[in-house]
Amino acid sequence: MLTVDNMRIALGDFSLAGDFTITPGARVAVLGPSGAGKSTLLAAIAGFQPLDAGQIHWDAKPMPKDPAARPISMVFQDNNLFPHLTVAQNVGLGLRPNLRLSTDDHTRVAQALTHVGLEGMGDRKPAQLSGGQIARVALARVLLRDRPVLLLDEPFGALGPALKAEMLELVHTLLDETGATLLMVSHDPEDARVLCDQVVLVADGAAHAPVATDEMFANPPEVMREYLGASGEGQL
């Protein structure tokens, strides 16, 4: 269980508060207006953003300070791959941060690549890949990291609609297999409907407790209605 316990973050004019729990295996969309602090929430959970007050727990234990020691895999908006390393090396980092890979490790890397549909592409450099393939490599690494929480910070924002649907489908499959808990920042409410059973709304300086996705869209609170706008309302 992921617990955000009386968290408070202040960065100049900006502030973000949160106090909620996420049940294991939940698939949570983090929605809200831009600049509200969706990415800051994820950075705090991942250990990149120090808290001014409060704590974040995993299974009732405080999270370690070191981001790498947290039970978390994270995929960022961009720069998810090191351009000077091959695809296989980028994935291999998920097993050994020093890249001293055993024969067994190499096999697992190859399997992970096959799993995300990139069989035989291990020797390529990221520059030779398409945007969708890059996202797949990042997900292959997530697979090998094998952490109970997956944080996605708008990783598919730059992909076209068809590719994005494909990637959401892949995430869906991976989550089914691993049973990991997902928190995904998105600016597209549709993503939430496709993939997530819960929504955390980040607005007005607070990350609100998760609400079931159906309920959120059936009966959106005022801020959510504003965020969705006229077109969103039309869909409701």
- Interior angle at CA 114, CA 165 and CA 191, nearest 5: 15
Is residue 98 within the footprint of another protein (CB under 8 A)?
Answer: yes
Kindly tell me which of 136 and 145 has the beta carbon lying closer to another protein. Answer: 145
CA distances from 157 to 82, 143, 214, 219 (A): 19, 21, 23, 26
Residues 106-125 that bind another protein (CB under 8 A): 125
Taking the complex as a whole, the smallest distance from the CB of residue 140 to another protein amounts, in Å, to 13
> Residue 45 and residue 190: Cα distance in Å, rounded?
24
Is residue 213 within the footprint of another protein (CB under 8 A)?
Answer: no
> Residue 114 and residue 205: Cα distance in Å, rounded?
42
The structure tokens listed for 171 are 């995430």
CA distances from 199 to 102, 125, 178 (A): 41, 36, 21
Site track 43-82 with another protein (rule: CB under 8 A), x = hit: x--xxx----------------xxxxx--xxx-x--xx-x
User: Buried (b) or exposed (e) across 21-45, using 16+ Cβ within 10 A?
Assistant: ebeeebbbbbbbbeebbbbbbbbbb
Using CB under 8 A, count the residues that bind another protein. Answer: 28
Taking the complex as a whole, the smallest distance from the CB of residue 192 to another protein amounts, in Å, to 24
Kindly tell me which of 14 and 48 has the beta carbon lying closer to another protein. Answer: 48
- Picking from 183, 142, 178, 138, the residue whose alpha carbon sits closest to that of residue 158 is 138
Centre a 10 Å sphere on the Cβ of residue 80 and count the other Cβ atoms it contains: 19
Kindly tell me which of 43 and 116 has the beta carbon lying closer to another protein. Answer: 43
Taking the complex as a whole, the smallest distance from the CB of residue 99 to another protein amounts, in Å, to 6
The structure tokens listed for 137 are 């490599």
Kindly tell me which of 154 and 213 has the beta carbon lying closer to another protein. Answer: 154
Taking the complex as a whole, the smallest distance from the CB of residue 181 to another protein amounts, in Å, to 16
Site track 125-164 with another protein (rule: CB under 8 A), x = hit: x-x-----------------x-------------------
The overall longest dimension of the chain from CA atoms, in Å, is: 56
Binding another protein (rule: CB under 8 A), the pick from 34, 50, 61, 97 is 97
Binding another protein (rule: CB under 8 A), the pick from 35, 53, 84, 221 is 84
List contacts with another protein (CB under 8 A).
43, 46-48, 65-69, 72-74, 76, 79-80, 82-85, 89, 93-94, 97-99, 125, 127, 145
